[in-house]
Amino acid sequence: MQFCLTIKCLFNLPLRQTTGFVESLLQLASVDWKVPDSRTICRRKNVLRSSYRHKKSMSGLQ
């Protein structure tokens, strides 16, 4: 679920498109994992989001 939310934020996708995209990525990687449906992710995203910490950007460093 955390991966789905990360992909959602990274590509600015709605949840339904995110689940389809993640399913496609897993299929390309030949991984047989179940992707939770968008309703499940929506219900649990607040709990997962609170445990996720954002790091400051290091764009000035090379």
Residue 47 tokens read as 């709990």
Is residue 57 included in any domain, yes or no?
Answer: no
Lowest mean pLDDT among 5-9, 40-44, 53-57: 53-57
pLDDT level of residue 59 (50, 70, 90 thresholds): low
Is residue 62 included in any domain, yes or no?
Answer: no
Q: Residue 3 pLDDT more than 80?
A: yes
**pTM over 0.95, yes/no:** no
Structurally, the chain folds into a number of domains equal to: 1
Degrees, nearest 5: CA angle 19-4-7: 100
Parent domain of 11: 2-49
26, 33 in Cβ contact below 8 A?
A: yes
The rounded percent of the chain whose pLDDT value lies above 90 is 37
Is residue 56 included in any domain, yes or no?
Answer: no
Give the residue carrying structure tokens 């990360």: 6
1, 41 in Cβ contact below 8 A?
A: yes
